[in-house]
Amino acid sequence: MIEKTATELARALHSGEISSVELTKAYLNRISALNNQLNAFITICEESALEQARAADTRRAAGDSSPLLGIPLAHKDIFCTKDQITSCGSRMLHNFTAPYDAYVVERFNAAGAVMLGKTNMDEFAMGSSNETSFFGPVRNPWDTERVPGGSSGGSAAAVAADLCAMATGTDTGGSIRQPAAFCGITGFKPSYGRVSRWGMIAFASSLDQAGPLCKSAEDAALMMNVMAGPDRRDSTCAELETEDYQAGIGQGLKGLKIGLPRQHFAEGLSAEVELRIRDALAEFEKLGATVIDIDLPNNHLSVSAYYVVAPAEASANLSRYDGVRYGYRCEQPVDLEDLYKRSRSEGFGEEVKRRIMVGTYALSAGYFDAYYRKAQKIRRLIKNDFDTAFNSVDVIIGPTSPHTAFTLGSKTDPVAMYLEDIYTIAVNLAGLPGISIPAGLCGGLPAGLHIIGNDFAESRVLNVAHQFQLATDFHRQKPALKVN
Range in contact with ligand GLN (rule: CB under 6 A) among 63-71, 120-128, 332-340, 404-412: 120-128
Of 110-118, 168-176, 180-188, 229-237, which segment contacts ligand GLN by CB under 6 A? 168-176
Q: How far is the CB of 175 from ligand GLN (least distance, A)?
A: 3
Q: How far, in Å, are 295, 306, 347, 427 from residue 261 at the CA level?
A: 5, 20, 42, 13
Looking at beta carbons only, is 109 or 360 nearer to ligand GLN?
360
CB of 304 to ligand GLN, least distance (A): 13
Q: How far is CA 128 from CA 122, 125, 268, 287, 378, in A?
A: 8, 9, 17, 33, 23
Q: Counting contacts by CB under 6 A, is residue 126 touching ligand GLN?
A: yes
State the CB neighbour count (10 A cutoff) for residue 467: 22
The continuous run of DSSP H or E covering 131 comes out as none
One residue of 125, 164, 249, 462 binding ligand GLN per CB under 6 A: 125
Per the residue annotation, which of 128, 175, 191, 302 is the catalytic one? 175
Do 41 and 72 meet the contact criterion of CB atoms below 8 Å apart? no
Question: Which 47-76 residues touch ligand GLN, going by CB under 6 A?
Answer: none
Angle ∠(7,45,349) on CA atoms, nearest 5: 105
**Nearest by Cα to 38 from 168, 158, 178:** 158
Closest CA to 407 of 131, 148, 145: 145
Instruction: Select from 127, 149, 199, 433 the one that contacts ligand GLN (CB under 6 A).
Output: 127
Q: Which of 19, 76, 152, 459 is catalytic?
A: 76
Shortest Å distance, C-beta 195 to ligand GLN: 14
CA distances from 61 to 65, 71, 104 (A): 9, 15, 26
The yes or no reply on residue 123 touching ligand GLN (CB under 6 A) is no
Q: Which is nearer to ligand GLN, 49 or 451 (CB)?
A: 451
- Residue whose CB is less far from ligand GLN, 211 or 259: 211
- Asked if 122 and 76 count as a contact pair (C-beta separation under 8 A), the reply is no
The reply on whether position 175 binds ligand GLN by CB under 6 A is: yes
Judged by CB under 6 A, does residue 171 bind ligand GLN? yes
Tell me the residue type at 246.
Q
Contact 357, 367 (CB under 8 A): no
**Binding ligand GLN by CB under 6 A: which of 214, 310, 389, 395?**
310
211 sits near ligand GLN (criterion: CB under 6 A): no
- Residue 133 touches ligand GLN, criterion: CB under 6 A: no
Smaller CB distance to ligand GLN: residue 174 or 184?
Answer: 174
Is 457 a binding residue for ligand GLN by CB under 6 A? The answer is no
Dist CA 326 CA 98 (whole Å) = 10
Rounded CA gap, 201 and 203, in Å? Answer: 7
Q: What is the dihedral of CA 101, 102, 108, 113, to 10 degrees?
A: -50
Q: Tell me if 183 sits within 8 A of 136, measured CB to CB.
A: no
Tell me if 427 contacts ligand GLN by CB under 6 A. no
* Residues between 385 and 424 that touch ligand GLN (CB under 6 A): 421
Of 100-108, 122-130, 250-258, 340-348, the window that binds ligand GLN (rule: CB under 6 A) is: 122-130
Instruction: List Cα–Cα distances, 240 to 80, 228, 455, 478, in angstroms.
Output: 25, 10, 12, 37
- Residue 215 annotated as catalytic: no
- Min separation Cβ 427 and ligand GLN, Å: 10
Q: CA 424, 456, 400: angle at the middle one, nearest 5?
A: 20
Asked if 303 touches ligand GLN (CB under 6 A), the answer is no
Distance CA 42, CA 24 (A): 18
Q: Site size for ligand GLN, by CB under 6 A?
A: 13
**Count of C-beta atoms within a 10 Å radius of residue 303:** 19
Binding status of residue 172 toward ligand GLN by CB under 6 A:
yes
Per-residue string for binding with ligand GLN, 366-385, x by CB under 6 A? --------------------
151 classed as catalytic: yes
Instruction: Candidates 87, 151, 401, 469: give the one binding ligand GLN (CB under 6 A).
Output: 151
Angle between helices 6-15 and 217-227 (to 10 degrees): 80
Instruction: Based on the shown chain and the rule CB under 6 A, indicate whether residue 154 belongs to the binding site for ligand GLN.
Output: no
Q: Please say which residue, 176 or 393, places its beta carbon nearer to ligand GLN.
A: 176
Give the residue, chosen from 148, 174, 187, 327, that forms a contact with ligand GLN under the rule CB under 6 A: 174
Q: Is 229:201 a contact under the CB 8 Å cutoff? A: no
Active-site residue (options: 19, 20, 128, 151) = 151
Annotated catalytic residues are 76, 151, 175
Which residues are near ligand GLN by CB under 6 A?
Answer: 125-128, 151, 171-175, 203, 310, 421
